[in-house]
């Protein structure tokens, strides 16, 4: 059809479209530009800002958020069910520690009356014995990845003057050794038939009664009822370099009893420490609130039989 043929079409058959609304951001526009569409040149600053934010900036922010969630989001957010179960387990463990320690102290009130009297009659010295131990290591990585010299008041070294590999605290026990037992020999393991242990102390160690005051450490938050036994700073520094995987014990709170304690007893050699670290690793990897309950029940049997005591 030629262009001139349009002149032969009756006027009644010619249709036209009339634009009767104003175009705005987000309105669909046909292929042909109409006279009523003002274009960006006719927009004010506010409309231009809304347009470019909606078309460009919001889109880039959305892409950045999606990429951050895919590559940077922790597994707990990707799997919320596991996060909820983990939170419930932690709440149950804290509840078990608090209620168990409080109930234990109430039930053991006669022990706190009788045992101190017997200790005083058996040997001179204090009733309770406190000792430095190493607890949970809450520091996940080095505090300073580079040296910062932007001011004179900046610290150029770590706040910790000595690395204990964990949070130090003082454990409380009934005294089972003679007073100042380590004055000459220093920190050493207790051995079978250790001459430093008193007559009453042997009974307290065999029945684990000397551990009862550590319920106070549980209430203070230093320890848990079940977990790896806390070790002394000197031994921790030594074992951290000599025993493979020793650091896994410091990822959780130490406990009054644990899987290694009800199966291996007290440490007596480096090999016993290696075996204990394996047990502690199995406990940490397979932990559940029911495993704590089972270990507490096995601890009762150990106390009644005296198995594994020095």
Work out the mean pLDDT of the chain and round it to a whole number: 76
- Find the mean pLDDT for residues 293-305: 85
pLDDT for the residue 263: 81
Q: What is the pLDDT of residue 196?
A: 82
Residue, of 289 and 140, whose pLDDT is higher: 289
Average pLDDT estimate for 71-87: 69
pLDDT digit string (tens) for 175-187? 988 877 666 666 6
pLDDT of 151 above 50? no
Query: How much is the pLDDT for 165?
Result: 78
Q: What are the DSSP calls for the chain, one per residue?
A: --GGGGGGS-GGG-------S---TT----SSPPTT---GGG--HHHHHHHHIIIIIHHHHHHHHHHHHHHHS-HHHHSHHHHHHHHHHHHHHHHHHHHHHHHHHHHTHHHHHHHHHHHHHHSSS-SEEEEEEE------S-S-SS---SSTTS-SS-S-SS--SS-EEEEEEE--B-TTTTTTT-S----TT-TTB-HHHHHHHHHTGGGGGGHHHHHHTS-EEESPPPB-HHHHHHHHHHSTTGGGGGGS--EEE-HHHHHH-S--SHHHHHHHHHHHHHHHHT--HHHHHHHHHHHHHHHHHTTT--
pTM for the complete prediction?
0.65
Average pLDDT for 22-27: 51
pLDDT digits (tens, 9 = 90+) for 80-104: 667 777 788 889 999 999 999 999 9
pLDDT digits (tens, 9 = 90+) for 227-262: 998 988 888 888 888 888 888 888 899 999 988 888
**pLDDT computed for residue 38 by the predictor:** 53
Instruction: Give the residues across from 255 on adjacent strands.
Output: 224
Confidence of residue 58 (pLDDT cuts 50, 70, 90): confident
Quick one: pLDDT band at residue 65, thresholds 50, 70, 90? confident
Q: Mind listing the pLDDT tens digit for each residue in 189-204?
A: 666 667 788 888 888 8
pLDDT of residue 150: 41
């Amino acid at each position: 059809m030629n262009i001139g043929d349009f002149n032969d079409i009756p006027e009644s058959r010619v249709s036209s479209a009339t634009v009767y609304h104003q175009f705005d951001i987000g309105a669909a526009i046909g292929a042909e530009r109409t006279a009523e569409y003002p274009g960006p040149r006719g927009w004010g600053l506010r409309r231009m800002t809304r347009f470019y934010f909606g078309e460009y900036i919001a889109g880039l922010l959305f892409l950045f958020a999606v990429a951050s969630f895919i590559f940077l989001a922790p597994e707990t957010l990707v799997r919320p069910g596991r996060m909820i179960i983990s939170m419930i387990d932690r709440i149950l463990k804290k509840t078990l520690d608090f209620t168990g320690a409080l109930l234990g102290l109430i039930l053991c009130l006669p022990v706190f009356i009788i045992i101190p009297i017997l200790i005083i009659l058996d040997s001179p010295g204090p009733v309770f014995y406190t000792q430095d131990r190493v607890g949970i290591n809450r520091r996940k990585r080095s505090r300073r990845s580079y040296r910062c010299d932007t001011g004179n008041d900046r610290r150029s070294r770590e706040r910790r003057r000595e690395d204990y590999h964990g949070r130090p605290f003082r454990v409380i026990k009934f005294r089972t050794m003679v007073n100042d037992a380590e004055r000459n020999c220093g920190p050493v393991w207790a051995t079978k038939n250790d001459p430093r242990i008193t007559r009453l102390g042997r009974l307290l160690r065999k029945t684990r009664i000397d551990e009862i005051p550590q319920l106070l450490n549980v209430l203070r938050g230093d320890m848990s009822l079940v977990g790896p036994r806390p070790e002394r700073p000197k031994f921790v520094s030594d074992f951290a370099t000599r025993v493979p995987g020793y650091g896994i014990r410091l990822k959780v709170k130490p406990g009054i009893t644990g899987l290694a304690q009800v199966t291996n007893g007290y440490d007596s050699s480096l090999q016993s420490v290696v075996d204990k670290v394996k047990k502690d690793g199995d406990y940490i990897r397979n932990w559940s609130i029911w495993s704590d309950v089972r270990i507490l029940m096995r601890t009762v049997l150990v106390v009644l039989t005296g198995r594994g005591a020095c």
